[in-house]
């Protein structure tokens, strides 16, 4: 059954259609009440002591109603097998809640004496299921919108706006911010601080106006982590994953929207691509977290787990957020920093389609696996590396090596520090990787030489690869622009590489994206320079604007000190940098009307 079969149609296959409709409407009301109660319960801290039991009762009653309503509609349905298949996700949420609650009631006496009470444990699992179901229903709503033929660019922009708005509201709650124990009242984050942080996390940028580790509480850290996890993969990716996981099919329009968002041409293979994306993401982030465990030996075990997971997800999503106020400053000699973090950044920055292509290439060439599962199912013939994958891989390799050499040489000129060759090379390697949209740092970037900052602007502007967690104008766009210039210098009328001819339409799109990127970057820099009125640090302003546009997140240390108008410019630039190139590419991919005529040609003097 496809997503177009709305619940209202399913009601006609039941003995009591009117009762089912009423139950579904009440489920929506109960979900809203339960979600609001959960947010208030964990958001208003000391205020909740007055109405704690009422909120908890509302949450438990909501989950109880979901379970009873689902069982009643299941019993009334004419085709119970079809009903179970259609509502598999709802059965999963209610079943999880019911089984966990029964286990808590029956096995609570076996827990330690300091364990929470039965009621608190049941309340916790109820809140967890309420949040899961709310996320599921929200994603379904977005999928329904995308399946109705709406402009894909508008859907992408709207999804990010919704994510930023929700993140801003959650970060404004007092529980998201560290409170003064001596204070009698709680205080939430100001609107602009919450908006800036939510935009930076959702757009996987990493620029901050307040120190992440010491300003936000553990609740705030978790909200930020979920924002850059969802923002890095995209809301539509999660929607497609739910469709694949719970047996729902994707309509053609929805599949086209999703493939354009990921910049993948494999529209007939979307289900396997989605599962591969989630599989690669989860495996890479968990493996990265395990490798990072030894980086903070002084912390308790649970803290090390959280720190490792946070920084692993931040690295893979190219977010650049760190729980340490000075980032990785002075930690560049650890193998986790120069080895694990760059690996996470590079894998996340290569792009989902490229990772999937490399995975299939490795399975079909170097493995005898023949498991017919969605994630591992592959053609019987060997899969080749596409031109796009090879072009992106070699361009990324060239930028990494060239960036390392360039930063090392430029920082060696007029160097005033006493770093050794290995330390300087290590720093150049890490910054060459992180300048390509990651946002971490092992040195004080404000102390960089002017020539290094200018060179870094170029690396940031290029950014990561298409369909990845990173930003910038993309490596493929940069490569096609260079190839087109080379073809022009060689006197050729077409661009050729690796035995293939690149369509001229792609060349035009690449040049258009670069032009639009330069326009946005120059406009934001101009506004910041005008608002700050400090000519002495013009290069730092350009550096900051480029970091925002390319969603990099590195800073020379001036972000928090900018004026309010400049903060608004940075917010808008981060948003445009995340969705702008993507929506521009989607818009350019839509073919206009075919004309049967063309005007006569006339040359223009170029100089």
CA of 104: how far to CAs of 96, 98, 130, 433, in Å?
12, 10, 18, 47
Reported as half-sphere exposure (CB side, CA atoms, 13 A), residue 310 has a value of 24
Question: 73-82, 270-279, 432-441, 460-469 — which is least confidently predicted?
Answer: 270-279
Angle made by CA atoms 590, 593, 594, in degrees to the nearest 5? 115
Residues 6+ apart with CB under 8 A from 71: none
Question: 67-76, 104-113, 191-200, 298-307 — which is least confidently predicted?
Answer: 104-113
- Residue 212 to residue 17: CA distance in whole angstroms: 51
Higher pLDDT, 359 or 265: 359
pLDDT for 44-55, tens place per residue?
Answer: 544 445 556 778
- Residue 14 to residue 8: CA distance in whole angstroms: 11
Q: C-alpha dihedral over 271, 275, 277, 281, to 10 degrees? A: 170
Confidence of residue 56 (pLDDT cuts 50, 70, 90): confident
Q: What single-letter DSSP state applies at residue 249?
A: B
Tokens describing residue 464 = 């990561």
258 pLDDT higher than 60 = no
Contact by Cβ (8 Å): 86, 1: yes
CA of 365: how far to CAs of 284, 379, 382, 385, 570, in Å?
22, 12, 6, 11, 46
pLDDT for 20-42, tens place per residue?
Answer: 888 888 888 988 888 888 877 76
Taking residues 298-309, report their average pLDDT.
Answer: 90
pLDDT for 490-541, tens place per residue?
Answer: 888 888 888 888 888 888 888 888 888 899 999 999 999 999 888 888 899 9
φ and ψ at residue 234, rounded to 5 degrees = 100, 140
Contact by Cβ (8 Å): 164, 191: no
Tokens describing residue 472 = 């910038």
Per-residue exposure over 148-160, b if at least 16 CB sit within 10 Å of its own CB, e if not: eeeebbebbbbbb
Residue showing tokens 């609570």: 108
- Residue 257 to residue 276: CA distance in whole angstroms: 18
394 pLDDT higher than 70 = yes
Taking residues 443-465, report their average pLDDT.
Answer: 88
Higher pLDDT, 243 or 494: 494
- Residue 242: predicted pLDDT: 52
Confidence of residue 418 (pLDDT cuts 50, 70, 90): confident
- Residue 1: predicted pLDDT: 38
246 pLDDT higher than 60 = no
Taking residues 265-277, report their average pLDDT.
Answer: 63
Reported as half-sphere exposure (CB side, CA atoms, 13 A), residue 345 has a value of 33
Q: How many CB atoms lie within 10 A of CB 125?
A: 19
- Secondary structure element (H or E) that encloses residue 500, with its range: strand 500-502
Taking residues 348-362, report their average pLDDT.
Answer: 83
Tokens describing residue 34 = 């339960």
Tokens describing residue 366 = 């170097």
- Residue 565 to residue 580: CA distance in whole angstroms: 21
pTM beyond cutoff 0.85: no
415 pLDDT higher than 90 = no
- Residue 426 to residue 226: CA distance in whole angstroms: 31
- Residue 367: predicted pLDDT: 65
Closest to 354 measured CA to CA, from 211, 467, 484: 467
- Residue 457: predicted pLDDT: 92
CA of 501: how far to CAs of 77, 151, 183, 388, in Å?
57, 30, 68, 12
- Residue 309: predicted pLDDT: 93
Mark residue 439 as left, alpha or beta (left: phi above 0; alpha: psi -120 to 50; beta: remaining).
left
- Residue 237: predicted pLDDT: 62
Whole-number average pLDDT of the chain: 80
pLDDT for 92-134, tens place per residue?
Answer: 888 888 998 888 888 877 777 666 777 888 888 888 888 888 8
- Residue 134 to residue 463: CA distance in whole angstroms: 34
Taking residues 297-322, report their average pLDDT.
Answer: 90
Within 469-560, residue ranges assigned H as helices are 475-489, 504-532, 538-549
Counting beta carbons within 10 angstroms of the beta carbon of residue 107, is it exposed (0 to 12), middle (13 to 18) or buried (19 or more)?
exposed
- Residue 146: predicted pLDDT: 59
- Residue 150: predicted pLDDT: 62
Contact by Cβ (8 Å): 577, 550: yes
Closest to 319 measured CA to CA, from 304, 309, 329: 309
């Amino acid at each position: 059954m496809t997503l177009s079969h709305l619940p209202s149609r399913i009601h006609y296959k039941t003995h009591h259609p009117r009762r089912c409709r009423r139950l579904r409407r009440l489920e929506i009301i109960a979900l809203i009440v339960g979600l609001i109660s959960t947010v208030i319960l964990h958001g208003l801290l000391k205020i909740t002591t007055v109405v704690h039991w009422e909120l908890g009762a509302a949450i438990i009653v909501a989950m109880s109603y979901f379970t009873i309503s689902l069982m009643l509609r299941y019993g009334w349905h004419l085709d119970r097998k079809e009903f179970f298949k259609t509502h598999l996700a709802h059965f999963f949420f209610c079943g999880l809640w019911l089984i966990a609650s029964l286990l808590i009631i029956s096995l609570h006496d076996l827990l330690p004496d300091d364990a929470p009470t039965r009621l608190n444990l049941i309340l916790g699992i109820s809140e967890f299921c309420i949040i899961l179901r709310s996320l599921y229903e929200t994603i379904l709503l977005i999928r329904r919108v995308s399946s109705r033929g709406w402009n894909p660019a508008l859907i992408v922009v709207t999804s990010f706006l919704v994510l930023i708005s929700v993140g801003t509201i959650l970060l404004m709650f007092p529980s998201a911010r560290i409170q003064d124990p001596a204070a009698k009242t709680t205080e939430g984050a100001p609107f602009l601080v919450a908006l800036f942080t939510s935009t930076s996390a959702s757009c996987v940028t990493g620029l901050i106006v307040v120190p992440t580790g010491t300003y936000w509480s553990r609740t705030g850290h978790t909200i930020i982590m979920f924002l850059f996890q969802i923002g890095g993969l995209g809301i539509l990716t999660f929607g497609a994953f739910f469709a694949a996981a719970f047996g729902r099919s994707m309509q053609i329009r929805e599949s086209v929207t999703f493939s354009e968002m990921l910049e993948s041409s494999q529209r007939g293979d979307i289900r396997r691509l989605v599962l591969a994306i989630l599989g690669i993401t989860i495996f890479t982030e968990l493996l990265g977290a395990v490798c990072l465990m030894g980086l903070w030996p002084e912390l308790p075990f649970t803290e090390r787990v959280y720190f490792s997971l946070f920084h692993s997800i931040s690295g893979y999503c190219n977010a650049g957020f760190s729980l340490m106020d000075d980032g990785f400053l002075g930690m560049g000699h650890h193998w986790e920093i120069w080895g694990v973090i760059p690996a996470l950044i590079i894998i996340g920055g290569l792009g989902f389609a490229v990772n999937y292509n490399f995975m299939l290439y490795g399975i079909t060439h170097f493995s005898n696996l023949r498991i017919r599962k969605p994630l591992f199912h592959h053609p019987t013939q060997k899969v080749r590396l596409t031109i796009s994958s090879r072009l992106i891989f070699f361009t990324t390799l060239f930028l990494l090596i060239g960036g390392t050499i360039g930063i090392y040489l430029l920082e060696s000129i007029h160097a005033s520090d006493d770093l050794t060759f290995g330390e300087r090379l290590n720093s150049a390697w890490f910054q060459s990787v992180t300048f390509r949209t990651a946002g971490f740092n092992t040195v004080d970037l404000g102390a960089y030489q002017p020539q290094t900052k200018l060179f870094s602007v170029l690396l940031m502007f290029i950014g990561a690869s298409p369909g990845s967690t990173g930003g910038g104008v993309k490596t493929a766009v940069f490569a096609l622009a260079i190839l087109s210039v080379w073809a022009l210098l060689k006197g050729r009328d077409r661009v050729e590489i690796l035995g293939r001819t690149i369509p001229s339409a792609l060349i035009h799109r690449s040049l258009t994206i670069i032009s639009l990127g330069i326009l946005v970057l120059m406009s934001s820099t101009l506004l910041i320079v005008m608002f700050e009125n400090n000519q002495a640090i013009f290069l730092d302003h350009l550096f900051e604007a480029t970091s925002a546009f390319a969603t990099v997140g590195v800073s020379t240390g001036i972000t928090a000190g900018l004026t309010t108008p400049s903060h608004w410019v940075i917010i808008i630039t981060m948003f445009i940098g995340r969705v702008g190139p993507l929506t521009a590419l989607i818009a350019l991919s839509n073919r206009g009307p075919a004309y049967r005529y063309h005007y006569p040609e006339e040359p223009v003097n170029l100089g």
